[in-house]
Structure 1
Amino acid sequence: MQVVGVTTQHEVYVASKTHRFRMNEMLVLKDELLEFPKGEVVETFSYNRYIPMGFDKGLVDNQVIKTLEQIGYDIGADDIHLAKVRLFEEAPHPIQTGCHVHHPDFSEIESLLVTTSAEKGMVLGEIKSTDYVEESLPLPLQGLVTILEKEQERKQKGVPFIFDIRAMQQYPHIGVFGGSGSGKSFGLRVMLEELMKLSIPTLVFDPHFEMDFSVQLNNGVGNIDYKQRYEVVQIGRDVGVDFTALSTRDVERLLSASGSLTESMINVIQSIHKRKDSYQSFSDRVGNLAEAIEIGKQKVESYLHDGGMTRDEMEKYHTFKKLLEQYGSLPLSSVKGIQWRLFRLQQAGLFQQNIRVIEQAIHQGKLVVVQGAVWLLQVFSSYVIGSLYSKRRNFKDARLQQKQGEFFPPFMIVTDEAHNFAPKGYDAPAKSVLKEIAQEGRKYGVFLIFATQRPTLLDETITAQLNSKFVFRTVRGTDIQTIKEETDLTAEEGKRLPYLRSGDVFVSSAIIGRTIALRIRLAHSSSPHTLNPFDELIEMNQTSNEEVLKGLQEFLPLTEMDLMKNLPDLNAKSRKSWDVNQWKDELSRLSREGYLIERKTPFAHIYDRA
């Protein structure tokens, strides 16, 4: 391998007769004056004499062709393999043309690829095109991951990618971008496994109900049992909002997530809500006010004046009178709007629990998965993130002021579909607190991992603060443009984004200082959504067939007359609730598919065992 053509201080062409270059391959240039600079293949090209296409259509120019001829290449006969190589560090002067090139040993590129140990960092995958260093790889870096290649599991060959999570103190927050089917959710699962391995407290918002780690996979690498390292909670069932802890502003945010608020509705909340209100006291006050306004002040006073009511009714109308004196000027439609939004949140179970389970798990260094509908997660995330972040910030501020504060550990916040929680261009319940964490969370030890299919729809302030970005396959042009603006991906890498295989990813990180291409490792756990829906359909149909055939066994052979006579028993044994016509259709289908034999007689259709 030799350098050919015109060279620059940051880019050269390398040619070979025998070696076929691969993207992201690392090479060492034997230029002694520049102390053997290193570079990475960013574009490849091969010329074959049997293909009638000249170099004018390729990535090289006449200078490269002349150099190739001068150093002994037969342009008309040889197979020539060429690579454009970008140097990792700009050289003080251009590279020597004609200098030889070789693959590095691990020791030559260790500082470029590994910044921490497997025990301290997140082992996420294998760096692509580094298998040539397999023999020189130190023992602690061998056998750390298993890779899925062409539907086959294989052992690690190249250098493992270990993300230095401790460096997030300097370069905080991670973005995970990729379209549907790109491997984004799988990559996020691997990250969460590594956070559990390191016992880093983590809060995960899971709108897809897929972040469950109970199904362990045996893929050849020393797996960790995650069952004691995480908790799954559902909003309304396990966790909720302690209404008494909410400020008036918090109540506004919660109700706005249930449906947008008008200025008049906001005025209702600010007028009616009192400090330390419980859900019951606040909702009763709203409901009573709505009823009082509907009745009207005159009627309320006339009822009280006329008398003839029970004691409870008297108390009720006295309450109405007092509310009308205080809040009678508020519009009925706005009060009813608040009442409806409160009822919707209550029906979802939001106010029936508290977040004590989450706080305990965070203190224990566990990963907590919060599940619920997207709109409910938006509401709840605003409350829980604000509450936990305040506890952490208060502790750190107290230490800085040399005061005694209650310890609350640093933690990570992870969410899929992040553009729903911090959208660009409009408000969302959790957006303000997430923006604050994006900008100041580093000082307090609170970090974000945001995954989204649509980075263009994510708030720009937050996107700019994501110092490490994992970019999976992305097809949409606007998203690719956003990614190119926010990372150091080259034009060539940008062109490759729509064609990346599922599980391949570019990592652009200020921690590493450049973009690295890697393949995500096999996860140690399985998502509950891994079953192909078409296989699921076949499986369910097969199960249904077995149930029906088992229920039919003692009634075969069966006629249409028998159906009417034995219908209740047939339904009981087959666990169905069908009528006669449905059973006829089912028997005909089973006969067509070969499970039963149908015989036609002048008097009836008879169904029997196949």
Structure 2
Amino acid sequence: MQVVGITTQQEVYIGSKDRNFRINEFLIIVDPYQGDLIGEVVEAKTYNRYMPLSMHGELADSSVIESLKAIGYNIEEDTIYIGKIRLLNEALYPVETGSNVRVPAFYEVKDLMIKSSPDEGLVLGIIKNTDQMAANMDEKYKDLLYTFEEGELRKQKDIPYIFDIKSMHQYPHIGVFGGSGSGKSFGLRVVLEELMDLNIPTIVLDPHFEMDFSEIGQYMPKEKIDDYKDKFKCLQVGFHVGVRFEDLSHQDIKNLLDASSPLTDAMSNVVDILFKRNDSYNSFYNRLKMLAEAQEEGSLDRIVRRIEESSSDLERQGWQKRKEIYLNYDKTCPYSSVRGIIWRLNRLDNEGIFSKDIKPIEEGLYMGKLIVIQGSTRILQVFSTYLLNNLYHKRRDYKDALYKKTTADYFPPFIVVTDEAHNFAPKGYDSPSKSILKEISQEGRKYGAFLILATQRPTLLDETITAQLNTKFIFRTVRASDIQTIKEETDITEEEARRLPYLRTGDVFISEASMGRTIFARIRAANTTSPHRENPFDELKNKAKEDDNKFLEIIVDKLPINGDDFINVIKEIESETGLTYPIGLFEEKLNDLVEKGLLKKEKTPFFNIYKK
């Protein structure tokens, strides 16, 4: 392997007669004047006599061809392998043409490839095309993981990719981008497993109900199985967790109501005027309702008449209170805005938002657990606005108190993870959860609060937040607008961008600021499986089979069944099981079992007989 053609300080062509090149593999150029220069193959092509060099889109420029001839290659007869290498660090001078090229040993690339020990970092996968260097790597980096390729589990042969979690203090926040079926959710699952292994407090917003880690993958060897049951908790908004109304500030209640349905300025003003600190849900709701009922009367005279016509002291006191509220607030709180706030409050209350508190989440974070919060996207938007504001400011208050040398309750650093992040922090318009996510993205590093945001559509994610994601995992992406966004936000090359639509599921470009370059990796096999792993078409088939077996069990002791006796058989089944079948459906199900070979049908001049 030798350097050929005209060279620069950044890029060179290399040629070989007997070794093909792989994209993203690392090689060392032995420059006689500048010493060893390490680079990465960014293009690889093969030339032989059946492929003319002068074809459109030349294989290499003329200087490469002339150089190959000068070195002694017979380009009319030989198969020639040509690669383009980009140096990891710019050379002082253009590389010497004719310099030899060799495969590096592990110790020569260790500092480039591995930034953390397996015990302290996230072991996420392998760095592709590093198998030649992995042969002589340290034992502690071997047999750490399995990859899942072409339907089978494979032992680790390459250098492991270990993400240095401590580097997030310097280079905060992670973005996980990829289209449907690219391995994005699978990669996110692996990241969360590693966070659980390190007992890092983590909050996961899970709109798809898939981040459950209780089911171990059946494909994993027994010695590699990790049990996560005690390391995570799944909590559903409205069932296990919610908002304690008494703890809400004016801004909290406005954020919640706005997430339920956007507030007008007049409605926001109603909240400012009518909401009192430490109000319970009932006290605030009753104040609104009494004002609305008084406004429905239309005038003070009619309210006075209702007081005079009251049939009991309780009713009189009620209207007296309504009169007082009406006099205080009618002019500043329009009726339509008051009704709008009541409607939004009712909606939140019906979804159970106010029935619980966030104590289970705080307790889980203190214990270093992964807390999965489940609910619909809209409910999570509403709840996360309150939750993240609350937790982030607890952590911030603690760090500020340390700096000021005052006292404050300890609150641990934590990571916020969400799938479908563009729903929580959309570009182009405001959403309640967007403001707190933006605040964490810009200031969270100082306080130990970090984000891991996954989305199929990076173009739809708020640009301020995207710019703060210092590490990006880029899985298969097809849309041109998303690829363009990725190119703008990372150091991914033109060649790598062209490969994005064709990546295999689980293959990923990782653009990591702490490494200063993009590497090509494959995510390891996850130890756990998603609850939604069953193929929906297999589900249909299995359900049909289950229904057939169930129906067969019901009728088996009634066979043979005559066509003129359906009514009696159906009555018998109803009395035994409580199931009712219309005659048409009953006959249809019998014929279906005949078609599937589970029953036989014998035709007679008068009716059909169904037998085993």
Secondary structure (helix, strand or coil) at the match of 2:352 reads coil
Q: C-alpha offsets along residues 66-124 of structure 1, whole Å, 9 cap, x if unaligned?
A: 11111111111111111100000000001111111111110111111001100000000
Residue 282 of structure 1: which of 271, 275, 284 is its match?
284
Pairing 1:222–2:212 present: no
In the alignment, structure 2 segments of 5+ residues that lack a partner are: none
Moved more, 458-467 or 325-334: 325-334
What does residue 200 of structure 1 align with?
Answer: 200
1:192-591 equivalences in 2 (<5 Å)? 192-217=192-217, 219-220=220-221, 222-297=224-299, 298-307=301-310, 309-329=311-331, 330-571=333-574, 576-591=579-594
Q: For 2:15 and 2:530, how far apart are their aligned partners in 1?
A: 45
What does residue 163 of structure 2 align with?
Answer: 163
Q: Give the C-alpha shift of residue 57 in structure 1.
A: 3.1
Contact 2:232 2:371 in 1 (8 A): yes
Q: For 1:464 and 1:568, how far apart are their aligned partners in 2?
A: 69
What does residue 2 of structure 1 align with?
Answer: 2
Q: Give the C-alpha shift of residue 572 in structure 1.
A: 6.7
Moved more, 327-336 or 477-486: 327-336
Moved more, 442-451 or 563-572: 563-572
Contact 1:55 1:61 in 2 (8 A): no
Q: Give the C-alpha shift of residue 575 in structure 1.
A: 7.3
1:451 partner letter: A
Q: Give the C-alpha shift of residue 53 in structure 1.
A: 5.7
Q: For 1:148 and 1:572, how far apart are their aligned partners in 2?
A: 52
Q: For 1:501 and 1:475, how far apart are their aligned partners in 2?
A: 12
Q: 1:53 to 1:15 in 2, by over 3 A?
A: closer
Q: For 1:551 and 1:53, how far apart are their aligned partners in 2?
A: 75
Contact 1:551 1:573 in 2 (8 A): no
Q: Give the C-alpha shift of residue 581 in structure 1.
A: 2.2
Secondary structure (helix, strand or coil) at the match of 2:518 reads strand
Secondary structure (helix, strand or coil) at the match of 1:30 reads strand
Contact 1:248 1:269 in 2 (8 A): yes
Q: For 1:463 and 1:94, how far apart are their aligned partners in 2?
A: 36
Q: C-alpha offsets along residues 145-198 of structure 1, whole Å, 9 cap, x if unaligned?
A: 101121121100010000000011011000001111110000000000000000
Q: Give the C-alpha shift of residue 12 in structure 1.
A: 0.5
Contact 1:45 1:58 in 2 (8 A): no
Secondary structure (helix, strand or coil) at the match of 1:144 reads coil
Q: For 1:252 and 1:102, how far apart are their aligned partners in 2?
A: 64
Pairing 1:98–2:98 present: yes
Q: C-alpha offsets along residues 440-492 of structure 1, whole Å, 9 cap, x if unaligned?
A: 10110000000001111111111111000111111111111111000000111
1:29-68 equivalences in 2 (<5 Å)? 29-51=29-51, 54=54, 57-68=57-68
Moved more, 368-377 or 222-231: 222-231
Q: Give the C-alpha shift of residue 519 in structure 1.
A: 0.2
Pairing 1:113–2:109 present: no
Contact 1:134 1:159 in 2 (8 A): yes
Q: C-alpha offsets along residues 318-377 of structure 1, whole Å, 9 cap, x if unaligned?
A: 222122112223332222211111111111110000000000000000000000000000
Q: 1:135 to 1:354 in 2, by over 3 A?
A: same
Q: For 1:238 and 1:142, how far apart are their aligned partners in 2?
A: 42
Contact 2:29 2:36 in 1 (8 A): yes
In the alignment, structure 1 segments of 5+ residues that lack a partner are: none
Pairing 1:605–2:605 present: no
What does residue 86 of structure 1 align with?
Answer: 86
Secondary structure (helix, strand or coil) at the match of 2:41 reads strand
Q: How many residues align?
A: 608
Secondary structure (helix, strand or coil) at the match of 2:289 reads helix
Contact 1:547 1:574 in 2 (8 A): no
Q: Give the C-alpha shift of residue 137 in structure 1.
A: 1.2
1:443 partner letter: K
Q: For 2:363 and 2:546, how far apart are their aligned partners in 1?
A: 42
Q: For 1:51 and 1:580, how far apart are their aligned partners in 2?
A: 72
State TM-score, norm by structure 2. Answer: 0.97
Secondary structure (helix, strand or coil) at the match of 2:33 reads helix
Q: For 1:598 and 1:18, how far apart are their aligned partners in 2?
A: 70
Moved more, 515-524 or 240-249: 240-249
Q: Give the C-alpha shift of residue 207 in structure 1.
A: 0.3
Q: For 2:387 and 2:128, how far apart are their aligned partners in 1?
A: 39
Q: For 1:543 and 1:389, how far apart are their aligned partners in 2?
A: 49
Q: Give the C-alpha shift of residue 52 in structure 1.
A: 5.0
Q: Give the C-alpha shift of residue 555 in structure 1.
A: 1.3
Q: 1:327 to 1:532 in 2, by over 3 A?
A: same
Contact 2:508 2:521 in 1 (8 A): yes
Secondary structure (helix, strand or coil) at the match of 1:227 reads coil
Contact 1:548 1:574 in 2 (8 A): no
Q: For 1:575 and 1:38, how far apart are their aligned partners in 2?
A: 76
Q: Give the C-alpha shift of residue 264 in structure 1.
A: 1.9
Q: 1:575 to 1:222 in 2, by over 3 A?
A: farther
Moved more, 123-132 or 223-232: 223-232
Moved more, 280-289 or 359-368: 280-289
Q: For 2:189 and 2:3, how far apart are their aligned partners in 1?
A: 42
Secondary structure (helix, strand or coil) at the match of 2:24 reads coil
Q: Give the C-alpha shift of residue 16 in structure 1.
A: 1.0
2:207 partner letter: P
Q: Give the C-alpha shift of residue 579 in structure 1.
A: 2.2
Q: C-alpha offsets along residues 528-547 of structure 1, whole Å, 9 cap, x if unaligned?
A: 11111111111111111111
Q: For 1:36 and 1:175, how far apart are their aligned partners in 2?
A: 34
1:390 partner letter: H
Contact 2:123 2:163 in 1 (8 A): yes
Q: Give the C-alpha shift of residue 133 in structure 1.
A: 1.4
2:268 partner letter: I
Secondary structure (helix, strand or coil) at the match of 1:430 reads helix
State TM-score, norm by structure 1. Answer: 0.97
Q: For 1:408 and 1:486, how far apart are their aligned partners in 2?
A: 33
Q: 1:347 to 1:386 in 2, by over 3 A?
A: same
What does residue 184 of structure 1 align with?
Answer: 184
Q: For 2:577 and 2:527, how far apart are their aligned partners in 1?
A: 39
1:450 partner letter: L
Moved more, 68-77 or 192-201: 68-77
Q: Give the C-alpha shift of residue 230 in structure 1.
A: 0.5
Q: 1:575 to 1:413 in 2, by over 3 A?
A: farther
Q: For 1:399 and 1:407, how far apart are their aligned partners in 2?
A: 10
Contact 2:43 2:83 in 1 (8 A): yes
Secondary structure (helix, strand or coil) at the match of 1:98 reads coil
Q: For 1:347 and 1:577, how far apart are their aligned partners in 2?
A: 36
